[in-house]
Amino acid sequence: MNSAENIEQQIKKHKPNAELSPTMDRRILTDSIAAMQSARLPSEEKHPHSIRKTLMYSRIGKFAAAAVVPVAIGLFFVFFNKTIQPVNAAELLGQAIQTVTDIRSIHIQARMRTYPHDNFSQVDLKTDFVPIEMWARFENNNFLQMRIDKPQRVLSVDNGKATMIIQNEFVSQGNCASYACYDSEWLSRLMAVNRLLENELLAAIQNKEDSISVYHREIEGEKHLILERFSPAHVHREDYLHNKFIQDSDRTLIYRFEPQTKRLEEFQIFVHTDNEDILVFETTDIQYNPFLQEDLFSLKLPQQPVEFLTPQVLPDNESYENMTPEQAAEGFFTACARENWEEVLRYLPMTTLPQNIKDYLGGLEILSLGKSFLSEGSSARFVPYEIRLKNGTIKKHNLALKRIPPANRWIVDGGI
């Protein structure tokens, strides 16, 4: 069975009424919607050779299209441009999958709206881009080695052993057989280009709320394959974590593939808000089968690494177990205020407390603590707080706390 037949069977299995004819019904959007869409595109995005011209980024265009362009496996977004041609998704993707089986290594350069030290799926719609660089080596179409670099966070996975270094000081190590550890799953999926097309299509048809469009876009006389998938957030719009992580965002993933090889040429993620669609991630360069030095995947550890520890049961552990999240937050900040670092380590278990954390939190003043709340996107409880740091800076945020076995007491998990 070839790839196209396999994909077609998968589509019909999940959506029995699917019709895969290339002459699928297409309802044309009104001229007024098209005019509104064109008016909202910045001048750069109207460039005839830009992929951005082919895609309906605004909420008006995208959600209008979703309402009027039903197709078998999702949605074909019809744009008023003769260079865009809807295609038979199963047949085209089946052909494309067969052309990307010769990839032994990959090097991707990208940029993302995130913080240099934060985890790999965290986004901030208001911050500037930071560079991200990724490498992977494959054997028999399976991951052998992988590395992802942010300016202050590096992850390397070598034959199932993962090492992560944060701010060249904090170190975490463990097993990572699936190459999806440390919140890097979506990036490892991107690097798995041999299976990217098939995985995207199957993800769309298995997630009922997702929609997918596949079409050709003619650029300088060549037909480029475009795959666009809209995926709603895993949390409600009112949730605290909405649009703060990739998986918790209403987003559109856009892939452009080379005309001949069908290899990935460009990838972008747009997060949708009430007012605009914001580019949060895009590749800037992709190299296939580059030579990769073996030591690329062996990270050099800092001379005095700080390791995160699994919280253990304390002699007086019961008193901590009985705390509410609000009491745990107060206990943590009070210990910081008094510079009682031994007590701080009960809430923030590490091999040692780095001097920069002591300098940052030591001598703080608690201004207010709120009632804890939950988020659909996390198992933590969040305690709103406002503190005054020793240097006079006022910080207002939400402290994330989790109960972690075997200690089963509240541990600080973020928000400092």
Report the SS3 class of residue 296. helix
- CA 293 – CA 88 distance, rounded (Å): 41
pLDDT at 189 exceeding the cut of 60:
yes
Query: Within a domain: residue 212?
Result: yes
When divided into structural domains, the chain yields a total of: 2
Q: What is the model's pLDDT at position 87?
A: 53
Same structural domain, 256 and 319: no
Q: What is the model's pLDDT at position 41?
A: 34
What tens digit of pLDDT does each residue of 358-404 get? 999 999 999 999 999 999 888 999 999 999 999 999 999 999 999 98
Which CATH number does the domain housing residue 349 bear? 3.10.450
pLDDT at 65 exceeding the cut of 60:
no
Q: What is the model's pLDDT at position 60?
A: 30
What tens digit of pLDDT does each residue of 308-319 get? 888 999 999 999
If you compute the radius of gyration of the chain from its CA atoms, what whole number of angstroms results? 24
Rounded to an integer, the average pLDDT of 263-272 is 93
Same structural domain, 314 and 402: yes
If you search the block for the tokens 């500037």, which residue do you land on? Answer: 128
Last residue of a domain, one of 245, 262, 279: 262
Q: What is the model's pLDDT at position 45?
A: 36
Rounded to an integer, the average pLDDT of 60-73 is 32
Same structural domain, 313 and 258: no
Query: Within a domain: residue 276?
Result: no
User: Phi, psi at residue 227, to the nearest 5°?
Assistant: -120, 125
Query: Within a domain: residue 113?
Result: no
Same structural domain, 94 and 200: yes
Angle CA 413–268–277, to nearest 5: 80
Same structural domain, 236 and 365: no
Query: Within a domain: residue 170?
Result: no
Same structural domain, 329 and 395: yes
Last residue of a domain, one of 232, 262, 292: 262
Same structural domain, 325 and 230: no
User: pLDDT confidence of 278, banded at 50, 70, 90?
Assistant: very high
Query: Within a domain: residue 167?
Result: no
Same structural domain, 82 and 210: yes
Query: Within a domain: residue 285?
Result: no
Rounded to an integer, the average pLDDT of 108-118 is 96
Residue ranges of E strands in 87-221: 105-113, 129-139, 142-150, 153-158, 161-166, 170-175, 211-219
Query: Within a domain: residue 173?
Result: no
Q: What is the pTM of this model?
A: 0.76
ω into 406 cis (within 30 of 0): yes
Strand partners, 136: 106, 146
By residue range, what is the domain housing residue 388?
Answer: 308-414
From residue 353, give the alpha-carbon distance in Å to each of 29, 127, 361.
59, 28, 11
Say if residues 139 and 105 touch (Cβ distance below 8 Å).
no
Q: What is the model's pLDDT at position 55?
A: 36
Same structural domain, 226 and 334: no
58-62, 134-138, 146-150, range with the lowest pLDDT: 58-62
Same structural domain, 409 and 315: yes
Report the SS3 class of residue 7. helix
Query: Within a domain: residue 65?
Result: yes
- CA 323 – CA 369 distance, rounded (Å): 15
Say if residues 74 and 210 touch (Cβ distance below 8 Å).
yes
pLDDT at 69 exceeding the cut of 70:
no
Query: Which candidate, 177, 178, 106, places its Cα nearest to that of 148?
Result: 106
